[in-house]
Amino acid sequence: MTTRRKFLTHGALAGAATLAAPAVHAQSAPIKWRMQTYAGPALGEQVIDTCIKQFNEIAKGQMEIELYYADQLVPTGELFRAMQKGTIDAVQSDDDSMASPTEVTVFGGYFPLGLRYSLDVPALFNHWGLDEIWKAEYAKVGVKHISAGSWDPCNFATHKPINKLDDLKGLRVFTFPTAGRFLSRFGVIPVTLPWEDAEVALQTGELDGIAWSGITEDYTSGWANVTEYFLTNNISGAWIGHFFANMDRWNEVPPHLQTLMQVCFNSSHYHRQHWYWNGEASLRVNKDKLKSTTIPDAEWAKVEEEAHKFWDEIAAESELKAKVVGIFKAYNETMVKAGTPYRYS
């Protein structure tokens, strides 16, 4: 009995310690996330690779983010659902192309003529209340909105020159959902297909053009190799893109790693800002794959007029959308009143 008691006390305690050991090891194991970006590998090198490498390096084994490019794990249109379900942990995308079921989705990506310059995006999110709205809307559907940043403008790269609005009629164009909805007013036929298929579709003639980026991405993604003309008029001066995470997975991350993630992602936003700003100018001037064309200002004013009608249509859909449209209107009115360099008449 004495021997049995010793076994029950000392042996059981030792056994408990042995059984507890794996839990201790598990707690010290790195947190592993899978993140998918909207971008393909060539573009990913500029828009996300560095910030993920920096995060993993600074995290020193406490956390690791595995990065996947466009459509590698799930199609871009299914990104939101996959993140919401926890199939993937985080996403870099706009609201629009990942089909998020929120009130603010229509404003993600390229909201027609809502932005003139890339700095408009951080100004609106950090100083005009959009960040709070986005965080609240995504929290309702179990997703953490981490941060927003600006990408490039939305211009056309096409097989034929566009010199007037009538030249847009009948063009089959790869673009974002909201941009396509707006451009259909001018006879454009929006085409949806996987990002990596766009280049081949331009080569085969399935697409007449692309309105998915500015000239920087046209060169980076290879589209400048399979189109001939670049329209300098853009339907938006900047793309609104974001970093998101599954809310439960985000809450499992210690606060210091959450902060590190935010800092690295903000660094990524900043890099894109100057990379695109430089590229949009220097590639027009110093590269000759794409010939620039321009629709005259007087005629392009019709596009701006239609954009404001489009805003009002969106505002009529819900109280929250009306609030966001009101912010866009007030912001742009302020920029116009401020004059040069905020807005040129």
pLDDT per residue as tens digits for the range 194-253: 888 999 999 999 999 999 999 999 999 999 999 999 999 999 999 999 999 999 999 999
Query: Average pLDDT over the chain, rounded to whole?
Result: 92
Asked if residue 6 has pLDDT above 70, the reply is: no
Q: CA angle 130-133-134, nearest 5°?
A: 85
Q: How far apart are CA 270 and CA 121, in angstroms?
A: 12
Q: How many CA atoms lie within 13 A of 46 on its CB side?
A: 15
In the structure, what pLDDT confidence band is assigned to residue 9 with cuts at 50, 70 and 90?
A: very low
Mapped onto helix, strand or coil, the DSSP state of residue 217 is helix
Tokens 């939305």 belong to which residue?
154
What is the per-residue DSSP string for 311-340? HHHHHTT-HHHHHHHHHHHHHHHHHHHH-T
For the chain, domains (ranges, CATH) are: 31-150+239-281 (3.40.190.170), 155-237+288-338 (3.40.190.170)
In the structure, what pLDDT confidence band is assigned to residue 172 with cuts at 50, 70 and 90?
A: very high
Query: Shortest CA distance to 147 belongs to which of 231, 262, 60?
Result: 262
pLDDT per residue as tens digits for the range 331-345: 999 999 999 999 976
Give the distance from CA 153 to its chain's centroid. 12
Higher pLDDT, 79 or 26: 79
In sequence order, the β-bridge partners of residue 157 are: 210, 230
Q: What is the pLDDT of residue 28?
A: 67
pTM reported for the whole predicted model? 0.88
Q: What is the pLDDT of residue 345?
A: 61
Q: Which residues of 326-342 are buried (b: 16+ CB within 10 A; e: fewer)?
A: ebbeebbeebeeeeeeb
Which segments of 4-77 are extended strands (E)?
31-37, 63-68
Q: What are phi and psi of 194, to 5 degrees?
A: -60, 145
pLDDT per residue as tens digits for the range 117-165: 999 999 999 999 999 999 999 999 999 999 999 999 999 999 999 999 9
Cis bond leading into 112, ω under 30°?
Answer: no
Q: What is the pLDDT of residue 116?
A: 96
The stretch 264-288 carries a mean pLDDT of 96
Q: What is the pLDDT of residue 21?
A: 41
